[in-house]
Chains A and B, each alone.
Chain A
Amino acid sequence: MAYQITEDCIGCSACVRWCPVGAIHGERKQQHTISADICITCGACGRVCPSKAVRNQHGQIPESVKPKEWLRPLWNYQSCVACRICVQACPVGCIELAPAGANDGLKPGKPYLVKQAACLGCALCQSSCPLDVISMEKR
C-alpha cells in the first residue's frame, strides 16, 4: 500500500522535492498524485505537506513536522555488527560506513549519518536493522 494525496492538495510541490524516488507528479497549483508502484512509504511527503493532504498506507494523515525537527538515526555501536543493511536501506544514501582511522565518536567500519540534512527521518534504517541497534532521535 502506498501513500495517497487527497483533494486538499494545493499543488505546492513540496512533496515532489522531498520524495526520494520520484513517485509524485503534478502541475503546480494542481492536485498531485503518487504512483503506488513507485512509492516506498517513507512518509516524507506527509511530513512536509502544509495542507495535510497526504494519507499514509493506513489512511491516516501524518503530522507536519519541520525537517530540522525530524528524528534521525543513532546507532548503539556496542551492539552494531556493521552488517550494512541500514546503508543499503537508506533511500537517500545518507548513511555510510566510517573509514579506517575515523574518530570524533565514529567507529571505523560502522555506519554513521554522513549527510544529516538529507536524512528524511523515514526510519527505514531502523526498521530494517535485524538486531534493533538503531534508535530514532532528535539530533
Chain B
Amino acid sequence: MNAVMGKILWVDLTAGTCEVQEIPEKVYEKMLSGMGLAAYILYQRIPVGADPLGPENVLGFVSGLLTGTGSLMSGRWMAAAKSPLTHTWGDANCGGSLSPAIKQCGYDGIFFTGMSPRPVYLYVGHGKAELVDAEGVWGKDCRETEQALKAQYEGKTVSVACIGPAGEKLSLIAGISNDEGRMAARSGLGAVMGAKKLKALVLQGAHRIPVYDEARVKQLSEGFNRWISFQPPFLNGTLMGLLGTSMRWLPLQMRQDGLLYKVLLSKWGTVSMNQYSIETGDSPIKNWDGSCAEFNFKRSSSINPDRFRERELVKYHCYSCPLGCGGMCTIKKGSKEETHKPEYESVLAFGGMLMNEDLDSLFEINEKLNRAGMDSISAGGTVAFAFECYEKGLITRDDTGGLELTWGNTAAILKLVDLMIARDGIGDLLADGSRAAARRMQKQAEAYAVTAGGQELAMHDGRNDPGFALHAVVEPTPGRHTIGSYLYYEMFQLWTKVKRLPKVRWLFYPKGSKYTADREKAIWAAACSQFTDLINGCGLCLFAGLVGVNRLPIFEWLNAATGWEKTPEEYMQIGLNIHLVRQAFNAREGLALKAPINERALGRPPAQKGANRGRSVLLEELVPMYWKEMGLDETNGHPTAAAMAAIGLPELVQAPAKAA
C-alpha cells in the first residue's frame, strides 16, 4: 500500500493496553484515510445510544491520506467521536504537526476506547506505545502541558496533542490543542478526552511514509507552489474594509476567485477578512441581532488587519504549508510574551459579536482560551448569549456576582471567560455552551442561544450567504462553517475537473439570486459536502481547496501518491461515501438530520438594518433538494440501504450494536 501505513493503533484506557489493527487496502480505496477512516471505524465501534462522555465512546485521532507524501497543505489531523455537545457525529480539524507524526509512528489513526481510572497520556515512540501516568501535568494548561511533556523526550521532534483545564473539567465546548495554540476546537471533543482521563498524546515516531511516485508528487507540488507564491504588493487593511463597503452597496455579487483569498491569507492570515466581512454582512454582530450599522467602519477599524500584522514577529506555518496564514505575535505592544495570532473567528466572536473594540483584549482572550483548551467560536457565542440574557433581564447582577454584562464591556468579557474556564460561579452555567445554559434557565433564554444542533454558529452569516445556513443544519456535524457555502462553491471551481457540475458563469450576477431556492443551489451544496469530505480524507487544508481545483492538484496528487488511476468523479464518490457513513451514524441514533437552528440566523424575522436587512433563508425549500442531490431520502435525509451497500464495504451495512 502507498500513501498510508495500513494500520491503526487501538488504546483501551480501561485495561491500559495497546493493540494494532491492520486495515485492508479496500477500505482506503472506498473511504480514504483521515475523516473516512474515522467514519469507517467509529460507525462500527460506537454502539447506538452510547454516552459521549462514557467508556463506550471511541475517540479517534487520524492523519490524512496525502499527509507526508510530499504534497502541500496536507498536514491536517482530525479528531472524531460522538459529540457530547451535539450528541451527533463529532469531528474537529487542526493543522500543526500532529498529522505527519501519527503516520511516522506507523499508523493512520490512533483510537481510544474505555476510561482510565487516573490521568494518563499516550506515548508512541518508534515501535513502542505505552500509557504513562499524567498526574504531573493534570491541571496544567495546554502550553505548559506541551512544554513539560516535550522536555521529557530527547531526539526526534515530538508532537503533542493535549487538553487543558476546560477538557479536564468536561466543558462541552472544550477542544484539543496542538503546537501550543492550534486547536481542534469544535464538537466538544476535549471533553471526551477529559472524561477518558486522557491528558495528551505524545508522538515521536520516524517511519517513512511510502509513496507510489515521489517524483510526480513533487512535480505537482512545485506547480501548485507557483500559485501560492503569487503575491501582489499593493494591498492594505483599510482597502480591504473599503472593498467590503463597496460590495455591500453594489446590487451585484462578484464571483469570488480563491486566488485573491490566498493573497490575503498570505499577507494577514484569516484576520484579513475582519472588516470586509463585517461590511458585507458575512460576520454576525451583537449576538446576530446587530449589523455594520452599529459596529460601523470606525468601530471595526479597531480590528483592521494591519493592526494584527504590526504585532506579528514571525510567520507560523502548519506542516507542509507554503502559505503560512498563522503568525507568532507579541500579546501586547512592547510585550515579550508570544502568542499565536488570533484567527478571524476568534476576533469576531469576541469583537463584533460583543461590540468589543479593545484589540489587546482580543489577543488576551485568545491566549486564555488556547491555554484552557476551549473553542473560541463557542465561547464567544456563549458570552454573547449571556450578554443578551443580561440585557433582557434573564441574568441579573446577582447571578454574575456583580459583573455588568453590557455590550462592549471588555473587563466583564475577560472576567466571564476566566469564570467559564474555571467553572466558577456563572461560568459553570456557561461552560457547556449556550444551549445547555439556556436549558438550565428560563425557557425564553433559548431564543438567544444562536446554535445549530447545539453548536454555536461560526462567524459566517447565512443571511449573507444562505449556503452557510444550509450546511450548518444538514451536515452530520451541525453548526460548522468549514464545509460549504455558495462562496466556497465558486472558489472550489470543481466544474473545471468534475464536468457534470455547473459553472458559475458570470463574473457579476444579481445579489438577489442568492436568496432563491433552486436546484442549482442544491447541486452546489451537495458538491461542497462531497468535496470537503474528500479534503478531510486527504488531510488537506480547506484553504487549499479554496484556491480552486484548477490550481490545487488534489486528484492528481492522490493518483501519484497511491498508484491508483481514479477519475475526479470517482474521488467525489469517495467523498460521498464518507458523508454517507457519517450521516448514517446520526440516522441510527434517531436524530433529526435537519438540525434545529436559531431562527435569528435565518432572518426570521428579517433584520431591519445593515447589510442583511430584509433577507431570510429559504431553508425548508433548500433542505429536501439538497438531500435529493446527495442521493439521500429526500423526506428525512437518511442514507438509503442501496446507497450504503453501494459503498462496497459489507461491514458497514450490518446491524449496529446497542449501548450497554
Contact = CB atoms under 8 A, between A and B. Distances in A.
B70 A90 contact: no
Contacts of A38: 126-127
A87 interface: yes
A131 B157 contact: no
A56 interface: no
A88 interface: yes
Interface stretch (A7-15, A68-76, A93-101): A93-101
A31 interface: no
A102 B402 CA distance: 47
Contact of A81 (B127, B156, B225): B225
B314 A93 contact: no
B104 A108 contact: no
Contacts of B314: 99-100, 108-109
Most chain A CB atoms below 10 A, which of B68, B71, B126, B229:
B126
Most chain B CB atoms below 10 A, which of A88, A90, A132:
A88
Contacts of A101: 313
Interface stretch (B321-329, B341-349, B470-478): B321-329
A138 B317 CA distance: 29
Interface in A5-61: 20-23, 35, 37-38, 40-41
B320 A92 contact: no
B100 interface: yes
A128 B157 contact: no
A84 B319 contact: yes
A87 B104 CA distance: 13
Contact of B218 (A22, A100, A130): A130
Nearest to B328: A100
Interface string B107-149: 0000000000000000000110000000000000000000000
A90 to B, nearest CB: 7
A62 interface: no
A83 interface: yes
B315 A85 contact: no
Nearest to A84: B319
Most chain A CB atoms below 10 A, which of B68, B320, B328:
B320
B570 interface: no
Contacts of A20: 155-156, 206
| Size band of the interface chain B makes with A | 35 or more
B318 to A, nearest CB: 8
B216 to A, nearest CB: 12
Interface residues of A, number: 31
Given A20-B206, A40-B207, A85 B156 contact: no
A79 B313 CA distance: 21
A93 B218 CA distance: 24
Contacts of B154: 93
Most chain A CB atoms below 10 A, which of B72, B317, B318:
B317
B439 interface: no
B340 to A, nearest CB: 13
Most chain A CB atoms below 10 A, which of B158, B207, B229:
B207
B97 A130 contact: no
Contacts of A127: 214
Contacts of A93: 154-158
A40 B206 CA distance: 7
B572 to A, nearest CB: 25
Given A20-B156, A90-B157, A83 B72 contact: yes
Interface in A84-121: 84-85, 87-88, 90-93, 99-101, 108-109
Contacts of A124: 208
A82 interface: yes
Contacts of A41: 208
Pairs of residues from A and B, 8 with the lowest C-beta to C-beta distance, nearest first: A81-B322, A100-B313, A91-B206, A130-B221, A21-B126, A100-B314, A109-B314, A38-B127
Interface of B: 68, 70-72, 97, 100-101, 104, 126-127, 154-159, 206-208, 214, 217-218, 221-222, 225, 228-229, 313-322, 324, 328, 338
Given A22-B127, A91-B156, A108-B313, 11 more contacts: A38-B127, A40-B207, A82-B324, A85-B100, A85-B319, A90-B156, A128-B70, A130-B72, A130-B217, A130-B221, A132-B222
